[in-house]
Structure 1
Amino acid sequence: MDQSESTVRQNVWLHAFFAATVVLTAVIAVFGWSPWPSRWPAYVALTGFAAAYVAYGWRGYEVPRAAAAFLPVALAVTLVLPAVAPTTAFVQCIVFPLVWCQARGVRTSVLLSVVVGVLSAIGLQISCGPDALVGTILIESVSVVGSCGMGIWMTRVAALAEERRRLLDELRSTQDSLAEAHRTAGVTSERERLAREIHDTVAQNLAGIVMLTERARGDLAADRVDRLDERLTILEESARAALEESRTLVAAGAAGVAGDGLGAALHRLGERFSRETGIPVTVDAPDCVLDRDTQVVLLRVAQEALANVRTHAHAASARVALHVAADQVGLRIADDGVGFDASVPTAGHGLRGVRERLALAGGTCTITSDAGRGTVVDVSLPTGAEPRLPAVAEPVTEVSR
């Protein structure tokens, strides 16, 4: 549909009103009283008025240049018709709406409405004479005031409608932006979750596999063949665990906690760690009833803490203890390794992931360590805590390793 067809459809009722008014005015011009013996000026004016509207006047609602060319014709008609037949002043019924619909600006429309009233009054004075001056002034004053009042009111309604349309467009745009922002935030959050899960599960198992492979290669080079069977057994178990955790992550689950609960998972973690590293790990983790999210968070903390023991501590032993109270659960991982200066922050992705997990769950983490005195990681987590958005202040204070 081109612009011309769109304009016709939008203003179809105005076109119909114009045609009806012209027809009624023509009837009045033919049968109404006239002081003149011939009425051909009225017929010419009305015919020109209709022809101008059909030719280009109908575009004036959308095209300013067409309105500027058509409105002078409409003003001339308001003078000529009443001057020939007074009752044809009825043509003002369409001229006033044309002025308000095609003129640009309220002030211009008011001014042109006054001009219409003045021209019509002049035409009536020409046909009726000075005796009708008072009645003419009253009639045209009422017509102009009524036209301006109705025009201003309709303009205000149109402005409010346009403002509402603009606000609705802005609302839709804002909703689209929010939807896109939520989608992006969801994608980012899921990527971060997967990164934490992969680091704390698959990556830790792969690191253990690499370490075991290095030890097996060393045993082979030293001709300690009797140890290879145990190394290969642990390698197979670690590889199977990594495969199982990978499948769990692909299935959008949280790997690590089986149906027998957190206590059993911590015991398995300590046993595997001892077999992989040779560092004995004592696990004190009684059976307890915790929601799955809390269990996953605590298990990941234990995995990361033991991974740091394996990588940095050079410890002779480690201990994992789980304490459950009525409203919170605590986890302590301690080692007797070389320790470090806890007042100096160091870079590290693993403990940063732990910090993010605990922040989302409303937990806290404290790391106590001195050079040569080992390291203690204390975690406290409310039981049944609801996950929170990452934007909240992080209640975790720790040093990353």
Structure 2
Amino acid sequence: MLQKRWWDVAVVAGCAATAAAIAFGLVPVEAVEGAVAYGAILAFALTYLVIARPTIGRAASPARFAVFLAAVAVVLVIGTAASGFLAILQALAYPMTWVLGDTRRRGVIGSGVIAVSVLAGYMIGGGFTVGATLAGLATTGFSFVFATALGLWITGIAEAGEERGRLLDELTAAQSEVRALSRERGASEERERLARDIHDTLAQSLTGLVILAERAGRQSREGESDAAGDTIATVEQVAREALAEARALVARTAAVPDEAALGAAIERLAERFRAQAGAAIAVSVDAAAEAMDRDRQVVLLRCAQEGLSNVARHAQAESVTVAVRGGEGVVTLEITDDGRGFAPAATGAGFGIDGMGDRVALAGGTFEVDSAPGAGTTVRVRLPLDGPGAPRPAADSRSEVAP
């Protein structure tokens, strides 16, 4: 409707058909009336070419729109007065008015001007008789009502299309913003995941190396060469494990094999911390825990690692128990020591405790710490065996390593 080439075709075809009908005698007119009719047809075509065509596709200014209406009104009055057949030009004038008007108000006003012009032409051409007036009212009334209704309907469709386009643009912008926020959140979660992974693997291993190196230095200074040699051997073993952890962290290898290996992994952890802390560490893992999916095994393994690290650094315990058991749809990890304990409510949680809590929460489980000064400490982790609480691979298992 807003493409100029289609309007060119419509105006040329309409004007040519009207002129041909008069020329071939399909509409009986006298010579003078015929000349006036041809002039009116030419004037209508020039009005379209000079005034209307340049503004098709954009709203005409009020001045241009008024000039267009005035020119069309004059053409229709003169043409219809010369030959009532020229009222057919209103079939082009009505839609042209709505296109140039670009608003409901202008469209209705323009339609009214065209209707009055055609009625005036009928009355002038018919000598202001009752018959001419009634014919003009019938023609113009029907045309005005039909053109106005059609114009309002098409305008509503166009406005709905524009509104839909605006909403689509807003939706596209909102989706772009959501994607940007998702990328930012994903980057933030990835940073948190890397921080946990580094703390749970490399930081723990390096802490163990520091403890063992201090022990070896003290033993060497006290002349305990055999004990110092054993400690140095342990340092070498832990350093090799740390190197393997670093390589696995970079390569994003699996944490726990698909086969049942949780018990073996926790036992290797216990062996390392036996050498570091000198405490007796008992490990028990039942079959229900071994049957868990790998992601949940990773969570339990890292919680066990962090719990044993805290025992080695702070508890001064002589006996530690690590138990993993399943029952009633839940797997429970308990790390109990007979160390000096602490008051959880009065002690600020460190990154390790917070990291365990975050990791367990992501897996849909619960995390508890029971302790009191002089009464030892129990760390308890509960995870569902299955269901929607599974930890997300991106957050836990993609870069884990078996200790």
TM-score, normalising length: structure 1: 0.86
Q: 1:218 to 1:345 in 2, by over 3 A?
A: closer
Aligned length: 383
The answer on 1:322 being equivalent to 2:324 is: yes
Superposition map of 1:67-78 within 5 A: 67-78=65-76
1:54 match: 49
Asked whether the 8 Å contact 2:115–2:144 carries over to 1, the reply is: yes
Q: Which of 339, 343, 359 is the matching residue for 2:361?
A: 359
Quote the offset at 1:301 in angstroms: 1.0
1:91 match: 89
Q: Which of 298, 302, 305 is the matching residue for 2:304?
A: 302
Asked whether the 8 Å contact 2:256–2:262 carries over to 1, the reply is: no
1:399 match: none
CA deviations on 1:320-340 (whole Å, 9 max, x unpaired) are: 122222522111111122211
1:37 match: 32
CA distance, structure 1, for counterparts of residue 133 and residue 51 of structure 2? 36
Q: 1:357 to 1:200 in 2, by over 3 A?
A: same
1:126 match: 124
CA distance, structure 2, for counterparts of residue 181 and residue 119 of structure 1? 61
2:60 match: 64
Q: 1:152 to 1:112 in 2, by over 3 A?
A: same
For 1:315, what is the secondary structure of its paired residue? coil
Q: Percent identity?
A: 36
CA distance, structure 1, for counterparts of residue 248 and residue 36 of structure 2? 93
Q: Which of 7, 22, 36 is the matching residue for 1:14?
A: 7
Superposition map of 1:194-209 within 5 A: 194-209=194-209
2:213 match: 213
The runs of 5 or more residues in structure 1 that have no matched partner are: 1-6, 391-401
Q: 1:161 to 1:257 in 2, by over 3 A?
A: same
CA distance, structure 1, for counterparts of residue 311 and residue 215 of structure 2? 18
Quote the offset at 1:118 in angstroms: 0.6
- Per mean C-alpha deviation after superposition, the further-off stretch among 24-33 and 79-88 is 24-33
CA deviations on 1:295-317 (whole Å, 9 max, x unpaired) are: 11111111111111122222233
For 1:338, what is the secondary structure of its paired residue? coil
Q: 1:197 to 1:256 in 2, by over 3 A?
A: farther
For 2:345, what is the secondary structure of its paired residue? coil
For 2:230, what is the secondary structure of its paired residue? helix
CA distance, structure 1, for counterparts of residue 181 and residue 241 of structure 2? 37
TM-score, normalising length: structure 2: 0.86
1:108 match: 106
Quote the offset at 1:41 in angstroms: 4.3
Asked whether the 8 Å contact 1:337–1:372 carries over to 2, the reply is: yes
Aligned-pair RMSD on alpha carbons?
Answer: 2.6
Q: 1:69 to 1:204 in 2, by over 3 A?
A: farther
Query: Which amino acid in 2 is paired with 1:97?
Result: P
Query: Which amino acid in 2 is paired with 1:340?
Result: F
2:268 match: 268
CA deviations on 1:19-68 (whole Å, 9 max, x unpaired) are: 21222233345454446725544444433432343334213231423545
